[in-house]
């Protein structure tokens, strides 16, 4: 009888304890890159407090390099790691992670909350096969930066910019991203879309790369790379190398992300002469379409508290986090109205240009095989000076088609 009583009491205690958390507040692990301003950490603390004991969000910091982030997450999710509750996902991971079953779809009220007021391309970046797989958090895009003491009006097309840069002479260089990596894929994607083309068809299953717009994009890349406006370091240049090149003073133009703005303000002779404009187009009279970036929040498929993870992720992706991430971390909001918020405008005096650019941004190929597709593009187009606009149209088609036939996700 004593043994039966003890067993009964233990069962009651276990039932009241909440299972694997032993009665404690469930901890939700948020895997995300190390945001240096602390805005993500502050968001985790705020959402934890607002939950009133339902959950506690704890950051699990990923490597700084996006490829290393993806590799670490892919390996752990492939092993059905239950520790991953919320994922800070690069926009290019949506299709891969969804197709692999590593994240859960957003439905009902949480889906409505995650998309309300968002710029449409940010929602598209979180969508795969007509299902929402993540909540848009931050966005990203490139602008044209130029020297106002050398350029009266910013050029509207790449052809105009190259001509102006060459006319300026030795201080007229155009800084861009030309190394064989993701930045080169972004460069090509923006030019191709601005010329009216796309890499894959709308459902992401077949190669598009229409001949005329593809050739036009390739021609711009070659014309730039072989012009006197191209820096000698172009084939090894990434975003930060382009920033440093511009800040050294011998460049009059640069295409890059907004992180270059606060950096330039600290450089004498650069910040006060730095202008901004929409990214140059390819076709005269037609606005550019620029590749979208950013971070979306997915819910891991193998966590023990998925319902709470959706609730927490919706909180983390809210306007308060977006404003803080913009004001303190320089990360662009995904909510359209926030581009009028005083704190956002103070951080980005060009907020209206950013909003317009993101509003008609282009997506990189939305396919589970994106990594293979991106490698195929970068390998074909590097270095840009060796591009053959005629022959490389078919070369690109063949290589991207081979990439789509890949059977591996890593």
Does 352 share its domain with 280?
Answer: no
CA distance 112 to 106: 9
Residues 260 and 145 sit within 8 Å (Cβ to Cβ): yes
Does 320 share its domain with 375?
Answer: no
Residues 282 and 288 sit within 8 Å (Cβ to Cβ): yes
How many domains would you assign to the chain? 2
Does residue 231 form part of some domain? yes
Does residue 400 form part of some domain? yes
Does 157 share its domain with 135?
Answer: no
Residues 286 and 213 sit within 8 Å (Cβ to Cβ): no
Cα-only R_g, the chain? 23
Does residue 323 form part of some domain? yes
Does 313 share its domain with 394?
Answer: no
Residues 44 and 30 sit within 8 Å (Cβ to Cβ): yes
Does 268 share its domain with 375?
Answer: yes
DSSP assignment of 217-264 equals: HHHHHHHHHTSTTS-TTGGG--HHHHHHHHHTTSEEEEEE-TTHHHHH
CA distance 187 to 230: 14
For residue range 306-318, what is the model confidence (pLDDT) as tens digits?
999 999 999 999 9
Q: What is the pLDDT of residue 11?
A: 39
Mean pLDDT value across residues 254-274 = 97
Does residue 34 form part of some domain? yes
CA-CA-CA-CA torsion for 174, 177, 178, 180, nearest 10 degrees?
180
Q: What is the pLDDT of residue 406?
A: 75
Q: What is the pLDDT of residue 370?
A: 96
Does 182 share its domain with 236?
Answer: yes
For residue range 35-51, what is the model confidence (pLDDT) as tens digits?
999 999 999 999 999 99
CA distance readout (Å), 51 to 15, 136, 146:
23, 21, 46
Phi first, then psi: give them for residue 29, nearest 5 degrees: -85, 125
Query: Is pLDDT of 231 > 80?
Result: yes
Go through 388-407 and write b for each residue having 16 or more CB atoms within 10 A of its CB, e for each that does not: ebeebbeebbebbeebbeee
Listed in sequence order, the DSSP H helices in 103-255 are: 108-115, 120-125, 158-168, 182-194, 211-225, 239-247
β-pairing, 143-147 vs 251-256, is: antiparallel
How much of the chain exceeds pLDDT 70, in percent? 93
Does 350 share its domain with 276?
Answer: no
Q: What is the pLDDT of residue 196?
A: 98
Handedness of CA 6, 11, 13, 14 (dihedral sign): positive
Q: What is the pLDDT of residue 21?
A: 56
Does 230 share its domain with 247?
Answer: yes
Does residue 17 form part of some domain? no
Does residue 271 form part of some domain? yes
Task: Cite the beta strand spans of 316-387 per DSSP E.
Answer: 332-333
Does 149 share its domain with 242?
Answer: yes
Query: Is pLDDT of 223 > 90?
Result: yes
For residue range 20-39, what is the model confidence (pLDDT) as tens digits?
455 799 999 999 999 999 99
For residue range 140-176, what is the model confidence (pLDDT) as tens digits?
999 999 999 999 999 999 999 999 999 999 999 999 9
CATH code at 210? 3.40.190.10
CA distance readout (Å), 92 to 133, 244, 291:
12, 27, 11
β-pairing, 131-132 vs 135-140, is: unpaired
For residue range 68-125, what is the model confidence (pLDDT) as tens digits?
999 999 999 999 999 999 999 999 999 999 999 999 999 999 999 999 999 999 999 9
Query: Is pLDDT of 354 > 60?
Result: yes
Does 135 share its domain with 169?
Answer: no
Mean pLDDT value across residues 325-349 = 98
Handedness of CA 316, 30, 90, 277 (dihedral sign): positive
8 pLDDT band (50/70/90 cuts)?
very low
Of 7-16, 255-264, 364-373, least confident by mean pLDDT is 7-16
pTM of the model: 0.93
How much of the chain exceeds pLDDT 90, in percent? 92
Residues 147 and 274 sit within 8 Å (Cβ to Cβ): yes
Query: Is pLDDT of 410 > 90?
Result: no
CA 17 from chain centre, in angstroms, equals 41
CA distance 317 to 327: 15
Question: Strand, coil or helix: what is 75?
Answer: helix
Taken as a whole, the chain contains a residue count of: 410
Does residue 133 form part of some domain? yes
Q: Which domain holds residue 174?
A: 143-291+369-404
Mean pLDDT value across residues 137-141 = 98
329 pLDDT band (50/70/90 cuts)?
very high
The region, left, alpha or beta by phi > 0 then psi within -120 to 50, assigned to residue 285 is: left
Does 91 share its domain with 196?
Answer: no
Does 286 share its domain with 169?
Answer: yes
Mean pLDDT value across residues 345-354 = 98
Residues 191 and 158 sit within 8 Å (Cβ to Cβ): yes
Does residue 409 form part of some domain? no
- Whose tokens are 């889906």? That residue is 111
Q: What is the pLDDT of residue 62?
A: 97
């Amino acid at each position: 009888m004593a043994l039966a009583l003890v067993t009964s009491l233990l069962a009651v205690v276990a039932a009241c304890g909440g299972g694997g958390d032993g009665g404690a507040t469930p901890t939700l692990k948020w895997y995300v890159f190390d945001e240096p301003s602390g805005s993500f950490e502050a968001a985790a603390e705020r959402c934890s407090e607002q939950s009133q004991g339902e959950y506690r969000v704890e950051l699990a910091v990923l490597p700084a390099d996006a490829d290393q982030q993806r590799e670490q997450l892919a390996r752990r999710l492939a092993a059905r790691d239950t520790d991953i509750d919320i994922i800070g996902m690069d926009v290019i991971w949506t299709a891969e992670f969804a197709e692999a079953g590593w994240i859960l779809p957003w439905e009902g009220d949480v889906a409505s909350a995650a998309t309300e007021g968002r710029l449409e391309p940010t929602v598209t970046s979180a969508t795969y096969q007509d299902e929402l797989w993540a909540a848009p958090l931050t966005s990203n895009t490139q602008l044209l930066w130029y020297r106002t003491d050398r350029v009266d009006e910013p050029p509207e097309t790449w052809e105009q910019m190259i001509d102006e840069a060459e006319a300026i002479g030795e201080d007229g260089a155009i800084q861009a991203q030309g190394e064989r990596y993701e930045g080169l894929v972004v460069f090509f994607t923006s030019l191709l879309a601005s010329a009216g083309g796309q890499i894959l068809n709308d459902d992401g299953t077949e190669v598009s790369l229409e001949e005329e717009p593809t050739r036009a994009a390739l021609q711009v890349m070659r014309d730039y790379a072989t012009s006197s406006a191209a820096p000698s370091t172009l084939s090894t240049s990434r975003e930060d190398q382009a920033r440093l090149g511009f800040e050294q003073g011998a460049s009059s133009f640069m295409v890059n992300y907004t992180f270059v703005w606060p950096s330039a303000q600290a450089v004498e002779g650069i910040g006060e002469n730095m202008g901004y404009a929409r990214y140059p187009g390819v076709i005269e009279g037609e606005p550019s379409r620029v590749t979208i970036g950013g971070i979306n929040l997915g819910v891991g498929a193998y966590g023990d508290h998925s319902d709470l993870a959706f609730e927490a992720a919706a909180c983390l992706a809210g306007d308060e986090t977006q404003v803080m991430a913009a004001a303190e971390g320089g990360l662009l909001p995904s909510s359209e109205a926030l581009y009028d918020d005083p704190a956002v405008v103070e951080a980005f005096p060009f907020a209206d240009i950013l909003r317009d650019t993101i509003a008609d941004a282009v997506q990189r190929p939305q396919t589970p095989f994106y990594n293979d597709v991106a490698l195929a593009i970068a390998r074909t187009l590097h270095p840009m000076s060796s591009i053959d606009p005629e022959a490389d149209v078919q070369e690109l088609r063949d290589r991207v088609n081979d990439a789509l036939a890949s059977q591996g996700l890593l």
